[in-house]
A and B are shown apart, each in its own frame.
Chain A
Amino acid sequence: MTTKSEPSAGQRVPIREGLLIGPLADLDRVRLAGCRCTACGETSLGSKTICPNCGRNTVSDVLLARRGVLWSFTVVRHRPPGNYKGPEPFVPFGLGLVELPDGLRVLSPIDCDVAHLKIGLELQFKPYVRKDPDGREVVAFTFEPASTGEANV
């Protein structure tokens, strides 16, 4: 179940190693990676060898849930400094903490009309491919409003 993301088809790479799980060629099967500790029970974001809560190595990779709820958010009204890869010219966007049933809140851009952002909004994970000028295909992610009636998997 913990097949690491591999830069196989189309030379795709994850935006950060250890953050995504699943075949990058098939985005429907890509999930956020988590680290669950059997000693303290904590689940944290990204693949790790040491639990950031208790410091033990009793951890294993898990797939984090696709759906969550907006716990808090802001609207970023200024272009973030540095190597921001969002739309140019800059468009204000939602940034939020998405609470997942796994017991953690993940910081993510929220892909929806900023006027619709509100705490409690149901969201779903959406990986996407970003083409960089050097030809690389980078798999990044956002969360978008959840389609109704879908099971929380």
Chain B
Amino acid sequence: MSDVVILGAGIHPFGRFDRSYEELGAEAAAAALRDAGLEWSQIQAAYLSRMYLPATSGARILRRLGSTDISIVDIEAACASGGAALRQAVLAVRSGEMEIALVLGCEKMPRGFMDPSMIYSPWQIELGMSLNPAYWSMRAMRHMHDYGTTELQIAKVAHKNHKNSVHNPYSMYRKEFTLEEILASPLVCDPIRRLEICAPDDGAAAVVIASAKRARQIGAARNAINIAACCHTIARYSADFRCPADSMSATAHNPGPTEVTARQSYEKAGLGPRDIDCFEVQDTDAFCEIEIYESLGLCELGEGGRLVDEGATGIGGASPVNMSGGLISKGEPVGASHLGQVVEIVTQLRGAAGERQVADAKVGLAHVLGAGGNCAVTILQR
């Protein structure tokens, strides 16, 4: 047993709702508390992961559960916000300062492309560099050129994830598409198509974590899920061409953020990629998932397309990825995204994922990656 565990997990469906973010967040937090069998008054600190919500959103949301005097802070690290927040909570519990903490991810976002002024400089917006999928597409185009990755392989990833989403009640889209439908959907930025990218939306997810000692004291140790690793890093110099970069080095060869964060996480967990039974990863676009296979070490560089062709990342495959349907199906309520992945892994490790269950899953990994090269990896173990 690791020193910090998850006692309870809860989620509000991802999608678009005529409800306030306070309602969404409070519902997910209450569900996590219920799942843990704990009262709000027993929580000693709370961390909110969010990117697009106003100041002190964490306190505004959690006041709905009752006003206590605990520390509640909002944390932001772009798409990796959830990992950064969970990590702060884990460090706080591990320090001995507290024994039980709540980590909530919550977001409510407008439809369509994200507000570029959050990320880009004015001149980049003026020149047309403010479309996030353009960056994903340029990486895809180069990967296709260097390794022969095909549009069909990219479409196969989208097909797999849409197919998985049918069985996930928390997903925004729950519709299977044929490969033909995916390849016939309009190009957003060549070679990435409409049915191959994720959309911003609303959602919330939460976990209650505790020290292993405390879990034993309250008789919850048997059902607890171990947090074997939770790491957050930001890309080294020019190691990741992602928005809002205006250039990249042609001479520096630093390892990418997923590679660095995964390596740290594997080391902390004492595990390797082959020891992991299921993965939830940042498929902001279907190509990105192929690139992540390689960076997580599921295959060699350039072999991601082959892995797709072999079906290795389907639910019955050797390394199932995005059983939930991924961001392509769930959408990306940025602050809630990683916590949503964590809730999915907890569900998988409990054997409670129904039709999308990975047989006998004992170890799972959640990965997020976004603006500025922010990356987080959490490894959970039962």
Q: Which A residues contact B (CB, under 8 angstroms)?
A: 15-16, 19, 41-42, 44-46, 52-53, 71-78, 80-86, 93, 95-97, 99-100, 103-109, 119, 140-141
- Interface-forming stretch among B8-16, B41-49, B74-82, B127-135? B127-135
Q: Quick one: CB contact mask for B232-254 with A, threshold 8 Å, 1 for yes?
A: 00000110010001111111100
Chain B 112-151, CB within 8 Å of chain A: the 1/0 string? Answer: 1111110011110111111100100111011001000000
Contacts beyond the supplied A103-B250, A140-B123: 15 A-B pairs with Cβ under 8 Å: A41-B251, A52-B237, A53-B238, A53-B252, A71-B142, A71-B250, A74-B137, A74-B141, A74-B192, A78-B189, A81-B116, A82-B125, A84-B130, A104-B247, A104-B248
B residues sitting closer than 8 Å to A (CB atoms) are: 112-117, 120-123, 125-131, 134, 137-139, 141-142, 145, 186-192, 237-238, 241, 245-252
Judge whether A80 and B130 touch: CB under 8 Å. Answer: yes
Is A78 in contact with B128, judged by CB distance below 8 angstroms?
Answer: no
Taken together as a complex, chains A and B put the C-alpha atoms of A76 and B129 apart, in Å, by 9
Q: Assess the A81–B114 pair: CB atoms within 8 A.
A: yes
Give every chain B residue within 8 A of A107 (Cβ-Cβ): 129, 245-247
- The answer to whether A96 and B138 have CB atoms under 8 Å apart is yes
- Chain A residues lying within 8 Å of B127, measured Cβ to Cβ, are 15, 85-86, 108-109, 140-141
Q: Known: A72-B141, A72-B145, A106-B246. Contact between A42 and B252, CB under 8 A?
A: yes
Least Cβ distance of B135 to chain A in Å?
A: 8
- What is the minimal beta-carbon distance from B332 to any residue of chain A, in angstroms? 16
Q: Which residue of A52, A81, A108 is within 8 Å of B130 (Cβ)?
A: A81
Contact B142 A84 (CB under 8 A): no
Q: Nearest A residue to B136 by beta-carbon distance? A: A74
Residues of A within 8 A of B241 (CB): 97
Check if A82 sits within 8 Å of B246, measured CB to CB. Answer: no
B residues less than 8 Å from A97 (CB atoms): 138, 241, 247-248
Point out the residue from B121, B128, B247, B248 that lies within 8 Å of A109, measured CB to CB.
B128
Which residue of chain A has the shortest Cβ distance to B128 in the bound complex?
Answer: A80
Which of A53, A93, A106 has a CB less than 8 Å from the CB of B247?
A: A106
Give B58 Cβ to nearest chain A Cβ, in Å.
28
Q: Which residues in B have their C-beta under 8 angstroms from that of A106?
A: 246-247
Pick the 3 closest A-B CB pairs, nearest first.
Answer: A74-B137, A72-B142, A45-B247
A25 to B117, CA, bound (A): 30
Quick one: closest B residue to A34, CB to CB?
Answer: B247
Most A-side CB within 10 Å, residue of B116, B126, B145, B186:
B126
A42 to B238, alpha carbons, bound, how many Å? 11
Complex: A134 Cα to B114 Cα, angstroms: 27
**Complexed CA–CA distance, A109 and B129 (Å):** 8
Q: Interface centre among B192, B238, B247, by most A CB within 10 Å? A: B247
Asked if residues B128 and A93 are in contact (CB atoms below 8 Å), the reply is yes
Q: Specify which chain B residues have a CB less than 8 angstroms from the CB of A93 in the assembled complex.
A: 128
Inside 8 A of A83's CB, which chain B residues have their CB? 122, 125-126
